[in-house]
Structure 1
Amino acid sequence: MAQVQQFKIKELEAFTYKGVNRRGKKVDGEIKGTSIAEVKALLRQQGITPSGVKKKPKSLFGDGKRITPLDIAIFTRQIATMLGAGVPLVQSIDLIANGADNKSLRTLMQKISVKVQAGLPLSETLREHPKYFDDLYCDLVKSGEASGALDAIFDRLAMYKEKAEALKSKIKKAMFYPIAVLVIAGIVTSILLIFVVPQFAEIFAGFGAQLPAFTLFVLGISEMMQAYWWVVLAGLIATFFMVKKAYSGNLMFRTWADGRIIKLPVIGNILNKAAVARYARTLSTTFAAGVPLIEALESAAGASGNEVYKNAILFIREEVSSGNQMHIAMKQTKQFPEMVVQMVAIGEESGSLDSMLAKVANIYEQEVDDAVDGLTALLEPMIMAVLGVVIGGLIIAMYLPIFQMGSII
């Protein structure tokens, strides 16, 4: 096996060809191969005499849709089903590739198939694509290869991926509504200040009387927006990208930001529950697959999605590696609810830690689902209220001078 890994396997590429078939009819099309010589040989086997073969030029904007985590989750479930039905590994990958609508996913599957056929372990082949298969995924596949239970491992992986994507979808749904409220309110307010309020300003210019303070305040903001709207827009965009860059590139800022986010009202509660669910689900999946607890905790830390919880899980890992019980270490972090700590303690005492963690994950995933539904129901009238206050405030500011003049008359 070591000798096989020393040479580089050529990957399939797309070629276009022109030629003549057995009936003497001119044909053209597209075919995949590793070289022009191989493609010509393949065409001759199909009864086509090639007159021209060349590599298909790659598009400047890519050759298809990007591969999403949901695509990987679906692939994992498909391969788990096929392996469970007794279909050989390579044939399973080829069947999934042929049935993939996403061209990028199809190409990825074909690359994996070629290398597995050449004798490389699937886990090592997947590690060459860390963008789609993280260390946790590859480690579990490796444990399945070592134990000879690859179908069972893929079944666990499929469930893990499906649960993770469902949880991620709920979190996005929870975050969408507050952001939607702010964006809609900002757009409506900007339109009114830039296009509507100036019309009233022209009317007020002929009044010859002192305008109310609230009206003057709104007119001042309107003038600023008319003159410097592009500065405000550029500032918001620059701030967004600066914060995004700082969050991805600065550990200290990311830790600070994650700590503040999980303390937000309503949203913070959902994110905390989601982090606990993700921790329990990851640990349950890896530990049940035969991964040692220390390595399972390291995987859980990497999959936590929050620096505060990542640091807490790494602390638990250090304590467990020192011989302390996991539930005691969890309690010391003060990041996990008492119920979770007690359930882990019961799991440790009874020797059923993986099943107890799975129950914790199920409970908190359901709580996240309920909390998101509650937030959605709460924010729907809140959107109307916020827009009503913003628009109503601007209308009052514009009509206040008219009301005052009416009372004087």
Structure 2
Amino acid sequence: MATTIRVARHHKPRKQPKLHRWYWTGKNDQGKSIKGEQVAAQKSEVVQELTKQGILIKNLRRKSHLFGGRGRVGPRDVMLFARQMATMIRAGVPVLQAFNVVAESLQKPAMRELVQQLAEDVAAGASFSEALRKHPRHFDRLFTNMVHAGEQAGALDRMLERVASYKEKIESLKARVRKAMYYPVAVIGVGIGVTALLLIKVVPQFESMFAGFGAELPAMTRMTISLSEAAQNYWYFALGGLMLLGLVMRQAMQRSEAFTYKMHQFMLHLPVLGDIIDKSSVARFARTLATTFNAGVPLVEALETASGAVDSKVYERAILQIREDVSNGQRLNFAMRNTNLFPVLATQMVSIGEEAGSLDAMLNKVADFYEEVVDNKVDALTSLLEPLIIVVLGTMVGGLVVSMYLPIFEMGSAI
């Protein structure tokens, strides 16, 4: 069946009013208190809809944008949209009607507006893929290429289902890598915060008590008091310096591709964490290339799409070099070997896939293997860090406590 929808209307689409999320409480026709939320542009629309349902409204308020009233379109929203559209099209619902049904089911105003914009573009004569290309922030090259291939082959539902599965696996992989990076940072941050609190608030209480001892304090206690005085006098400089450093690093990575490349290269050489980032990049490359190539996209174009799917500038540059080599007639596995970046196992499996004429299937196996490797390494890192973090925090906090009680213990022994 032909799934490329072009409607012979060329009028300028009218601008949709901005949607908001409304919270309401009230009573139903049986007198029972109920509450819920509604997505609408105007308060009157919510009142009209609830009145139609026989609900007596007691309270109705719009959620502030500062607290997520409109929501933000994220990868999971795009994944859910792809699955819903695949289901509707498979059921024989026309694309334009499917857009409207899916939009009505969405509870996030920002996502509903996005789908309504897509519906307007399709109603104005654009194809599904053309409408998606107008929103590159939310729909990447892989998504639009897959949809375009599905339109051409009359298999739009299958392509949308593949996109959704791909997004689901990639987001799962990203979550594992984030867990590996955020867990130690969060725990160490809490440790530093507790230590700073002790130095700024607790140690000064002991210091005033020690002032009346009239005896020389132990070296460890004097060092702790000196640290406490420094923390009290300069904590805002330290905090401001850290914030400034973070801001400078962020701006430098946004403005300088060379600096970003060096930072990503440095991260790949970190112990344990670098290996996790490395293997996750290999898995994302393989999964993206397999999905795109399987959709009938030429290998050179599929490699360009894959280069934008990895979050590492090091791998992005390597994949673009592979694309250049493949476009010049070199086989994929040789081009991968030339980068000195991909694991031997990955290049061997790609070589077998090329020989057997099943490159997409072999690339999917490569992705499955390295996703499992990443999962195991994240679990191992968490297990390794837990006792290490306990030791570090115990040493930091315990050292402060001991240094404060040491003069009291010495005074007790002297008595």
Which TM-score bucket, shorter chain as reference?
0.7 to 0.9
1:261–1:280 Cα change, 3 Å: same
Query: For 1:60 and 1:178, how far apart are their aligned partners in 2?
Result: 32
- TM-fit CA distance, 1:274: 0.7
- TM-fit CA distance, 1:32: 7.0
Give the corresponding residue for 1:199: 205
1:5–1:375 Cα change, 3 Å: farther
Give the corresponding residue for 1:228: 234
Q: Higher relative contact order at CA 8 Å, sep ≥6: structure 1 or structure 2?
A: 2
Query: For 1:77 and 1:166, how far apart are their aligned partners in 2?
Result: 16
- TM-fit CA distance, 1:254: 0.7
1:369-384 aligned within 5 A: 369-384=375-390
Give the corresponding residue for 1:23: none
Instruction: Indicate conservation of the 8 Å contact 2:176/2:375, yes or no.
Output: yes
Give the corresponding residue for 2:334: 328
Match of 1:165 among 155, 171, 180: 171
Runs of 5+ unmatched residues, structure 2: 21-37, 49-61
Moved more, 216-225 or 284-293: 216-225
- TM-fit CA distance, 1:206: 2.5
- TM-fit CA distance, 1:183: 0.9
1:79–1:30 Cα change, 3 Å: closer
SS of the counterpart of 1:309? helix
- TM-fit CA distance, 1:143: 2.0
Q: Are 1:148 and 2:154 an aligned pair?
A: yes
Query: For 1:159 and 1:353, how far apart are their aligned partners in 2?
Result: 19
Query: For 1:393 and 1:239, how far apart are their aligned partners in 2?
Result: 29
- TM-fit CA distance, 1:9: 2.1
Q: Which amino acid aligns with 2:170?
A: A
Q: Which amino acid aligns with 1:66?
A: R
SS of the counterpart of 1:13? coil
1:31–1:173 Cα change, 3 Å: closer
Query: For 2:82 and 2:91, how far apart are their aligned partners in 1?
Result: 14
1:220–1:4 Cα change, 3 Å: farther
Q: Deviations over 1:218-268 (max 9, x none)?
A: 211211111122121111111112111212221111111111112111211
- TM-fit CA distance, 1:408: 4.9
Query: For 1:30 and 1:345, how far apart are their aligned partners in 2?
Result: 52
Instruction: Indicate conservation of the 8 Å contact 1:181/1:386, yes or no.
Output: no
Query: For 1:342 and 1:290, how far apart are their aligned partners in 2?
Result: 23
Q: Kindly report the root-mean-square deviation, in angstroms, between the aligned alpha carbons of the 2 structures.
A: 2.8
Q: Which amino acid aligns with 2:256?
A: N
Query: For 2:294 and 2:9, how far apart are their aligned partners in 1?
Result: 30
Query: For 2:94 and 2:363, how far apart are their aligned partners in 1?
Result: 32
Query: For 1:366 and 1:75, how far apart are their aligned partners in 2?
Result: 27
Q: Which amino acid aligns with 2:100?
A: D
- TM-fit CA distance, 1:199: 1.3
Q: Deviations over 1:285-331 (max 9, x none)?
A: 11001111111111111111101111111111111111111111211
Q: Are 1:314 and 2:320 an aligned pair?
A: yes
Give the corresponding residue for 1:8: 12
- TM-fit CA distance, 1:137: 1.5
1:231–1:151 Cα change, 3 Å: same
Runs of 5+ unmatched residues, structure 1: 17-28, 34-38, 44-56
Query: For 1:166 and 1:135, how far apart are their aligned partners in 2?
Result: 20
Q: TM-score, normalised by structure 1?
A: 0.85
Aligned residues, how many? 376
Instruction: Indicate conservation of the 8 Å contact 2:6/2:126, yes or no.
Output: no
- TM-fit CA distance, 1:376: 2.5
Q: Are 1:282 and 2:294 an aligned pair?
A: no
Q: TM-score, normalised by structure 2?
A: 0.84
Instruction: Indicate conservation of the 8 Å contact 2:191/2:393, yes or no.
Output: yes
Query: For 1:374 and 1:332, how far apart are their aligned partners in 2?
Result: 31
Q: Are 1:210 and 2:216 an aligned pair?
A: yes
Q: Percent identity?
A: 47
Instruction: Indicate conservation of the 8 Å contact 1:140/1:286, yes or no.
Output: yes
